[in-house]
Amino acid sequence: MIRNGHGHVLRWWNEIGERGRARLLQQLSSIDFDELDSLSRRYREGKPPVSLEGIEPADVISLPKTKGEISALERIRRIGEEAFRAGEVAAFLVAGGQATRLGIETPKGTFKITPIKKKTIFEHHAEKIRAISKRYGKPFPFYVMTSETNGEPTREFFERHRHFGLNPADVFFFKQDMMPALDLEGRLVLDAKDHIFASPNGHGGSISSLEKSGALADMKARGIKYLSYFQVDNVLIKIGDPIFIGYHIAKGAEMSVKVAPKRDPEEKVGVVCRLGDITTVIEYSDLPKEHKYALNKDGSLRFSAGNLAIHVLSVSFVERLNAEKHSLPFHIAEKAIPFLDDRGELVKPKQKNGLKFERFVFDALSHAQASAIVEVNRDEEFAPIKNADGEDSPETARDLMIRLYAKWLEGAGMQIPHNAGGRVKGLLEISPLFALDADELKRKLSPSFEVRLPLYLGP
Ligand code: UTP
């Protein structure tokens, strides 16, 4: 069962008792040593260069500019809305990650985020889902992928908060798989005398776990055809955007992606490109300088379609990937991994001492027979919370929320006080249950409404 070179995991065999031995054996029996060996080899030999022969920018559906383009959008919106009214759309949240950079011990979704009411990320997402379900008069099922590291706390959090008003029968939790890590010599790592360190296998693990968990079968039984995929940390996400779903359907797409122009050539974001007939995401580190800096005639970046990790996945696509046994590749990252020292005590190192392996959902894009690559306004749809402070932190996300609410209010004819730097002078919060978007807000507010900050608009 154990390969050469991994015998050290039995070091405390005589100490761990029957239960511990059973736990360790069970974990060992699920490990694919061939796969680990080949990943370790790939790390030692270095990643082979990605072939970019024939690389072209992706065919992006740009933001509408002309009147004609704006009115054409209405047709697309109607297509998406029809799918909602037919009950064919579900929300799919991947929330199995470990929030290492944010540095909290609880699931990231339990983080208090909204500017005034300090609602948690989960509550904010749940309010959007309730609002959408109400808008279309149909259940909007919510599938939540967690992992071994945060599955129970996530479920308990929802239960404790009565699913934030969602119908529990329409919320489906499932866990993704775990993947053991290796030390830099390619050996398994113990984080307890009877346990091998493992971490969630990446958001790309969702493709197989959707099937394994029964989520896919549940979707099919409910007549769900399209999944609005989002990540827990993007608090500006437009869950179930009918325009995005509309483009996906109109294009006969299997998987679609929202993109925004890269801010600068070195921005660390994957770029959606075309390689021959295949649309794919090229990681920042795989795009050579000549492409990173290549310009169009108008001076804009040629390879600029930054992946915002917002997708539509057709249920039939997820089904096909599983039926055809496509497993998405593992990406290798050097990370700090907790380990047992010689005395059997747990050490949490600061420096990188091992390798974690993750599958990325965007790798599924290259398997899609068709896709819609839709440009959006980044500031209106993308506010990820990755770090405790600085870039992509709770502070930047709150700031983006306030800016967006101010923009909606201004669109409804209200005056919002700004300081010299352009920041809103005070706090603003609009619950999705009050308005999901600028149009709804405009309809709800009378022109005589006066904004006084701080302002909370809720149900
Ligand atoms: P990130 O890659 O940003 O990871 O995940 P993270 O766990 O949130 O944070 P770090 O890297 O540990 O600091 C992006 C999205 O993918 C989900 C996360 O929960 C988040 O919604 N994810 C990530 C999974 O669902 N499973 C994984 O194995 C990894």
pLDDT digit string (tens) for 273-310?
Answer: 999 999 999 999 999 999 999 999 999 999 999 999 99
Q: What is the mean pLDDT of the chain?
A: 96
pLDDT digit string (tens) for 199-236?
Answer: 999 999 999 999 999 999 999 999 999 999 999 999 99
Distance in Å, CA 107 to ligand 1 centroid: 10
pLDDT band at 258 (very low <50, low <70, confident <90, very high): very high
For the ranges 226-240, 372-386, 416-430, the lowest mean pLDDT is seen at: 416-430
Q: Can you tell me which atom of ligand 1 is nearest the CA of 145?
A: 25
Where along the chain do its domains lie?
7-388, 393-459
Secondary structure element (H or E) that encloses residue 274, with its range: strand 271-275
Distance CA 40, CA 352 (A): 16
Question: CB under 6 Å to ligand 1: residues?
Answer: 94-101, 108, 145, 147, 176, 200-203, 205, 231-233, 358, 386
Distance CA 374, CA 353 (A): 39
pLDDT at 51: 86
Q: Can you tell me which atom of ligand 1 is nearest the CA of 201?
A: 28
Report the Cα–Cα distance between both ends of the chain, in Å, rounded.
Answer: 58
Residue nearest to atom 4 of ligand 1 (CA): 97
Cβ atoms of 176 and 145 within 8 Å: the answer is yes
Helix (H, G, I), strand (E, B) or coil at 200: strand
Helix 151-160 crosses helix 121-136 at what angle (to 10 degrees)? Answer: 60
Distance in Å, CA 200 to ligand 1 centroid: 9
Fold annotation for 7-388: Spore Coat Polysaccharide Biosynthesis Protein SpsA; Chain A (3.90.550)
pLDDT at 326: 86
Q: Which of 219, 178, 196 is nearest to 91 (CA)?
A: 219
Structure tokens at 420: 């010299």
pLDDT band at 1 (very low <50, low <70, confident <90, very high): low
CB-side neighbour CA atoms (13 Å) of 21: 5
pLDDT at 169: 98
Structure tokens at 380: 């209106």
Residue 48 is given by DSSP the state P
